[in-house]
Structure 1
């Protein structure tokens, strides 16, 4: 009698119910994520000057620096489910405050609060994914969460322009409704047992993390890769302008990037999730570096499209594996704070990326630096492999 091996689960099989609830909530929530992307248009329409608008946007970014650390602490101290629900309801409240703010001072205060509240739920969601998903499926789970964000954002962009024409309050209502809907999904679908606090010995996850040399090295590795990837958003427009190409081409390139991620990520993630974390991350960052480096020799629209295809493939390889790597290094009870540190690393990269890109671009060294950074990331991943393997064994 011939015994056949069990078939490997497809990309949409094998993941727990809690994951799919979070996936659905994330998809719904991102579909309503329309207020912040269109806030500048709203403020311009109200007669605010460019400097005042920049102050409001900066206030949001300032609040965002504290959202992930606060969310990580709350998730480990009071429970993932409670933090998720509380963070989403607080986000909905802050969205209403932004829509109702009648002066610049109130707008800035509401923006700070929104930046703080808007990221509180993220470490709790990531902690739940890490804790309820088997380790070998974590890259697939986190990759699909990234996919949900892109699908939801694409749908939101398609409808937001139509709603804005009839009033900014329609965007606020949509955003508030989807945030509350995510909270309801969590409240109804995720068992209350996930509100259990972490053991006392693990509640101060940041103190534990500060002494975790492998984690710190992994975060530095991810930070370098994320600053590299940030150049796709911040340096690419500079290159297009330098070549005298229209801003509409940048919109096309972003659409190409989104289409590649939405179409191919579910296929890639099923294959890549079977491979070791660090080699995938190292190679993916090198591919991103190569794609961005080739931007330096592009001077026609189709050249730019080709480079976007290349670094988009690298983006797919990075998505999911970053959070999964941190989850592998996390001691029991500290998933909230460890995932918050990863989220904070992405926030730092968003702030540092433009400054680094601008300096290197002016020095005419950016594209060479992208190639070198991609190679550095691949080498960094190779060096980290023994330490991470010892922790995971």
Structure 2
């Protein structure tokens, strides 16, 4: 499905989200390192488990309101909250206020995402969902090529300027949504009157029904375990690389070596991760387009699990580039399939709710994944990497079980 044929809603969001993510990758990968430096590894590891709880609440709230208020108002709500939190982050005088702002940014993003995903599902035919989601992933990762390398300098030396720029870009995007994006909530779902207390009562009842859906529950549990290895790129890996990988030469030119510090090495690895996404997400989506979703999920867990485990075996920078290819492809192959699976599985009248509940695998994964940073104070690196690999194996077992159940129940009940 060519971009020129897309609905204008999708074009506006593709540009807006792409610009914001370019800035996002300049600060987000260094958040754990920043809080570890300010407060210590143990405290930072515990603190990084809290934002996902707020993100989980935001996802449930965003999903509930998406099916009642519509996609556009919820997207505006999430974008405005993120803008305000970036302003707070920029003017913050202490790491604790930075932490509160970071939580608020995550909450705003969690409210925004179910409405954003539901809008795509509203506008795109089922057979084109993988390709469209892959295009959004490509745009979101263009910034991941240069972002981390620049962020290694900008976040630690020009943090306020970077955060003000993030706030400005989000403000412009908010204005674009307000004036250029139209509502896509199906008419069959619209409610004539909306009472907020009734909305919460009905939506919590609706989520109770969703989590009694055994297929969906196993899908969430499998996703949580699969994402723990993938999420270490922003959590344990920066701590490991900066503390255990020595400064070394990337290459030598005319007898002069280009020496990279540990922080710079991590920035280059992240940039390489983003470059792989930009170059290969669309081709990979096409290559695996005819693969069964079950096999794609299993392959993803294997590559992400072993790729992350292999990081601990050697500190040579070119070896680290190689294993980055492995765990990046593990993340890459699952992204479009995850979104297309739940878009097809969710019933139209509860699409926002399912999208919101689907994001729980990310928020709960983010709650559990920082425990690797916490454990790093007592457990040696190979012990941490072994735990990460164990989660990958558990996810494979759950995905096998999921698709046995899915063959018997291909659609959500009721």
Distance 1:272 1:131, change over 3 A: farther
- What is aligned with 1:272? 288
- What is aligned with 1:318? 334
Residue among 338, 343, 348 paired with 2:364: 348
**Aligned: 1:89 with 2:80:** yes
Query: Once structures 1 and 2 are overlaid, which stretch shifts more, 102-111 or 300-309?
Result: 102-111
Residue among 126, 139, 143 paired with 2:134: 143
Distance 1:340 1:250, change over 3 A: same
- What is aligned with 1:3? none
Query: Once structures 1 and 2 are overlaid, which stretch shifts more, 361-370 or 63-72?
Result: 361-370
- Count of residue pairs the alignment pairs up: 381
Distance 1:94 1:241 in 2: 28
**Aligned: 1:50 with 2:39:** yes
**Aligned: 1:184 with 2:185:** no
Once the 2 structures are TM-superposed, how far is the Cα of residue 237 of structure 1 from its aligned partner? 4.8
Distance 2:388 2:99 in 1: 35
Distance 1:59 1:275, change over 3 A: closer
Distance 1:386 1:21, change over 3 A: farther
- 3-state SS in 2 of match to 1:211: coil
Within a 5 Å distance, the mapping from 1:198-209 to structure 2 comes to 198=189, 203-204=203-204, 205-209=206-210
Query: Gaps spanning 5+ residues in structure 2: where?
Result: 192-198, 248-261
Query: Once structures 1 and 2 are overlaid, which stretch shifts more, 224-233 or 148-157?
Result: 148-157
Once the 2 structures are TM-superposed, how far is the Cα of residue 213 of structure 1 from its aligned partner? 0.9
Distance 1:58 1:107, change over 3 A: farther
Distance 1:239 1:29, change over 3 A: closer
Query: Once structures 1 and 2 are overlaid, which stretch shifts more, 153-162 or 326-335?
Result: 153-162
Distance 2:323 2:171 in 1: 39
Distance 2:403 2:231 in 1: 25
Are 2:307 and 2:326, in contact at CA under 8 Å, matched by a contact in 1? Answer: yes
Distance 1:291 1:212 in 2: 33
- What is aligned with 1:388? 406
Once the 2 structures are TM-superposed, how far is the Cα of residue 342 of structure 1 from its aligned partner? 2.5
Are 1:289 and 1:371, in contact at CA under 8 Å, matched by a contact in 2? Answer: yes
- What is aligned with 1:123? 114
- What is aligned with 1:6? none
1:225-257 deviation line (CA, Å, top 9, x unaligned): 001223344444566578653424333322222
- 3-state SS in 2 of match to 1:184: helix
Once the 2 structures are TM-superposed, how far is the Cα of residue 380 of structure 1 from its aligned partner? 3.1
In the superposition, the TM-score normalised over structure 1's length comes to 0.80
In the superposition, the TM-score normalised over structure 2's length comes to 0.76
- 3-state SS in 1 of match to 2:291: coil
Once the 2 structures are TM-superposed, how far is the Cα of residue 112 of structure 1 from its aligned partner? 4.2
Distance 1:107 1:306, change over 3 A: closer
Within a 5 Å distance, the mapping from 1:301-340 to structure 2 comes to 301-340=317-356
- What is aligned with 2:300? 284
1:267-323 deviation line (CA, Å, top 9, x unaligned): 212332343322211112112223223334335333222211112111110112222
CA-atom RMSD in angstroms: 3.9
**Aligned: 1:79 with 2:95:** no
Distance 2:238 2:101 in 1: 30
Residue among 244, 262, 265 paired with 2:278: 262
- What is aligned with 1:212? 213
Distance 2:238 2:227 in 1: 18
Are 1:74 and 1:83, in contact at CA under 8 Å, matched by a contact in 2? Answer: yes
**Aligned: 1:229 with 2:230:** yes
Distance 1:244 1:155 in 2: 21
Distance 2:271 2:76 in 1: 32
- What is aligned with 1:295? 311
- What is aligned with 1:5? none
Are 1:227 and 1:352, in contact at CA under 8 Å, matched by a contact in 2? Answer: yes
Are 1:32 and 1:179, in contact at CA under 8 Å, matched by a contact in 2? Answer: no
Distance 2:324 2:96 in 1: 40
Are 2:85 and 2:101, in contact at CA under 8 Å, matched by a contact in 1? Answer: yes
Distance 1:146 1:170 in 2: 26
Once the 2 structures are TM-superposed, how far is the Cα of residue 392 of structure 1 from its aligned partner? 3.6
Query: Gaps spanning 5+ residues in structure 1: where?
Result: 1-8
Once the 2 structures are TM-superposed, how far is the Cα of residue 386 of structure 1 from its aligned partner? 3.6
Are 1:84 and 1:125, in contact at CA under 8 Å, matched by a contact in 2? Answer: yes
